[in-house]
Amino acid sequence: MKFIIGKKSGMTQLFDENGNAIPATVIEVEPMYVLQNKTEETDGYKAVKVASGAIREKLVNKPDKGQFKKADVEVKRYIREFEADEEYALGQEIKVSDMFAVGDHVDVSGVSKGKGFQGNTKRHGQKGGPSGHGSMYHRRVGSMGANSTPARVMPGKKMPGHMGAVNCTVQNLSVVMVDGDRGILVLRGAVPGPKGGMVTVKTSVKAK
């Protein structure tokens, strides 16, 4: 299992040897540091806890400071846990070039762009009502369901509400470039979130 914590820098395009344009997302990756190895004997499963990203020490709470002190690591902004079969040394530094290579397939998770409060037409892709003059019902929800039975709106009804700002995953993207010296990972395609948003990259569960 390969994994990394990164920051979405934006999108660009690369060109292959045939001159075809490849849409690509650039992810800035700072070195990660190992905070804890979780084992089946003590925790019931195997995983590794890592941290990355600069932050002022005054912004870190005491429980997290204790984790960093135990691993002899400077405080970091992001703490994440990944499945891992092998054990790492506490405080070990992990770079993007230690994990990924060109041709790997990965899943990328992040928080999608927030869209605020949206109607059902944009939020769920529903069609509009009659467009004729005087219909007074163009972009609203429509029928709420049965009348007297059960006399309520059933759970799960697609209605207007807050759109976006949820954790989502894009699967099976391919790695097109890795630069360990500059801490850059370039993936083919788009990944969730805005520029500067934190993302996690790990081995794809659907890779062939």
3-state SS assignment for residue 99: helix
Residue 102's pLDDT band (cuts 50, 70, 90): very high
3-state SS assignment for residue 134: coil
Ranges of each domain in the chain: 3-115+162-203, 118-160
Gap between the Cα atoms of 78 and 174, Å rounded:
24
As a whole-number percent, the residues of the chain with pLDDT over 70 amount to 100
Least confident of 30-39, 117-126, 146-155, 187-196: 146-155
CB of 192 closer than 8 Å to CB of 26: no
As a whole-number percent, the residues of the chain with pLDDT over 90 amount to 78
Q: Which residues contact 95 (CB under 8 A, 6 or more apart)?
A: 29, 31, 180, 183
Burial class (CB in 10 A: 0-12, 13-18, 19+), 59: exposed
pLDDT for 60-80, tens place per residue?
999 999 999 999 999 999 999
| Average pLDDT for 122-134 | 88
Gap between the Cα atoms of 184 and 139, Å rounded:
44
Model confidence at 118: pLDDT above 90? yes
Gap between the Cα atoms of 135 and 129, Å rounded:
8
| Average pLDDT for 109-115 | 95
User: For position 128, what pLDDT does the model report?
Assistant: 87
Burial class (CB in 10 A: 0-12, 13-18, 19+), 205: exposed
Query: Fold for domain 3-115+162-203?
Result: Elongation Factor Tu (Ef-tu); domain 3 (2.40.30)
Least confident of 27-31, 56-60, 149-153, 191-195: 149-153
Q: Can you name the residues that pair with 83 across neighbouring β-strands?
A: 47
User: For position 130, what pLDDT does the model report?
Assistant: 84
CA 105 to chain centre: 15
User: For position 198, what pLDDT does the model report?
Assistant: 95
User: For position 95, what pLDDT does the model report?
Assistant: 92
Residue 208's pLDDT band (cuts 50, 70, 90): low
User: For position 147, what pLDDT does the model report?
Assistant: 81
